[in-house]
Amino acid sequence: MYRPNGFTLIELLVVMAVIATLLSIVAPRYFNSIDRSREAVLRQNLSIMRDAIDKFYSDTGKYPLSLNQLVEEKYIRAIPIDPMTESSQTWIEVPPSDPEIEGMYDVRSSSDRQALDGTFYDKW
């Protein structure tokens, strides 16, 4: 009995259904892990910049005027990239609550997206 080489249509459909099922399980986990890693990078970058602002204030008794001043004075090597906006130019520099004091008291992301925990990135 002669049987032609190759797969039947049913065999191909079964294989494609198995692949589609596996992808529907794996894809959401993959994209969720990407978001978690971006959030971890954002937390780390904010921590580094806030620590540099605090050290600058401890050393000079005043707040830096901008993130560029932290780079120029060698408190950080470079302005980190905001992983949510993918730019180092989009950070929001927050002034002190006292209008008499000059400088930048804090830094935040300019992303208006919501984090996995329900908070917004620009409030971190």
**Could you tell me the mean pLDDT of each successive run of 10 residues in the chain, 124 residues long?**
77 94 88 91 96 96 95 96 94 93 94 91 91
d(CA 18, CA 22): 6
Phi/psi at 10 (5° precision) = -65, -40
- Model pTM score: 0.77
Q: Is 6 left (phi over 0), alpha (psi -120 to 50) or beta?
A: left
Residue 47 is predicted with a pLDDT of 96
Can you give the residue ranges of every domain in the chain? 41-123
Strand partners, 114: 120
Of 108, 56, 113, the C-alpha closest to 80 is 108
- Looking up tokens 């919501």 gives 114
